Amino acid sequence: MATIREITRAYCNRSDPLAAASYFGTFAVYFLTLWLAVISFDTLWLMLPLAVINALSGVRLYVLQHDCGHHSLFARAWVNDWAGYGLSTFTLTPYRVMQFNHNQHHKFLGDLEERRSGEIHTMTLAEWERAGVWERLGYRLYRNPAILIPLGGIFVYALRYRWPKNTGRVGVTGVLIHNILLIAWIFLLWALGGANALIVYAITVFVAACTGVFLVYLQHNFEDTYWDRRPDLRPDMAALQGSSALDLGWWFDLATGNIAYHDIHHFNANIPSYRLRKCHRALRDEYGLRVIKWPEALRSFTLKLWDEEHERLVPFPRRAAGHLVAN
């Protein structure tokens, strides 16, 4: 672990030119594709792909805001903060509260006693066995990807982030200003492009929200992830083993700002997104860092409960001939 940490430090140097290219380049793609999608509204075969590209650039903007929250994108902390504020209207995510909540997530990663700080709630197998009918039904619905991804994405980004958890603790004023700016942005879209612009924007927000939940789920929900209870909890193991590395292709990495190499990010959050991919590849072969490809990524959505005895994520159990067996 000490050797890996030492190697990751070599990738922590911030580059303002690279950061600016990523920041303003992503904004350029975002505004250009949004405008092109609106003016091609009546040409469905052109508008929809443009809307998808716009949504993915919105996801990338969110990753850059996440970097700013760690002060890892630009060299100076104040530049990161102002850049984060500049991104927040277009990511639908108030900056300061996002920063606080995400740092809590890093602090309590893999801690079974602090699961409220996680982004996707996970029950243990023992909790499931003790749960009543209604609690099980609610959890089944919650973990169903047909509900979790589309409805969960819209709920979180369009509704929940208008007043995120810990708003009262971090800053009400910042959230209110954020919401006013978001309303002004939507009004500007309507003023410039009418109903067509609002429809295109709704499509891009929906696709971006679904992509965001897809990523958030896979970052910590896979068979060999890591959970434990204090005092046995090991933060270094929670970072490397409890976070995934999704190698889903170069285009996927480009669209998501390399955030899919999440194990290295949790192990050393000072690495900028524009160095994560290179850092992971430098460590992957020598230290056996695990990589998830598309088949396993999709199969991970069948895993629902943490089995503390066998230390793995498992599907819902089912009854057969009086015995519990895995799905």
| 225 φψ region: left (φ > 0), alpha (ψ -120 to 50), beta (else) | beta
Q: Is residue 326 part of a domain?
A: no
pLDDT value for 118: 66
Query: How far is residue 226's CA from residue 235's CA, in Å, rounded to a whole number?
Result: 10
Q: Kind and range of the H or E element at 317? A: strand 317-320
Q: Kind and range of the H or E element at 314? A: strand 312-314
Read out DSSP for 96-123? HHHHHHHHHHHHTTTBGGGGGGSSS--E
269 within 8 A of 72, measured Cβ to Cβ: yes
Query: How far is residue 76's CA from residue 64's CA, in Å, rounded to a whole number?
Result: 15
Query: How far is residue 327's CA from residue 315's CA, in Å, rounded to a whole number?
Result: 6
Tell me the mean pLDDT per 10 residues along the chain, length 327: 90 97 98 98 97 98 98 98 98 97 93 84 96 97 96 95 96 97 98 98 98 94 93 91 92 94 95 95 85 93 96 86 46
Q: Is residue 321 part of a domain?
A: no
Picking from 78, 204, 213, the residue whose alpha carbon sits closest to that of residue 144 is 213
Query: How far is residue 119's CA from residue 127's CA, in Å, rounded to a whole number?
Result: 19
Q: Is residue 319 part of a domain?
A: no
The residue segments making up the domain with residue 141 are 2-314
Q: Is residue 70 part of a domain?
A: yes
Domain count, the chain: 1
pLDDT value for 320: 44
Q: Is residue 122 part of a domain?
A: yes
Q: Is residue 324 part of a domain?
A: no
pLDDT value for 290: 84
| Cα 316–chain centre separation | 24
259 within 8 A of 73, measured Cβ to Cβ: no
Q: Is residue 322 part of a domain?
A: no
pLDDT value for 179: 98
Read out DSSP for 125-191? HHHHHH--HHHHHHHHHHH-HHHHTHHHHHIIIIIGGGS-TTHHHH-HHHHHHHHHHHHHHHHHHHH
Q: Is residue 320 part of a domain?
A: no
pLDDT value for 243: 94
pTM (two decimals): 0.93
117 within 8 A of 104, measured Cβ to Cβ: yes
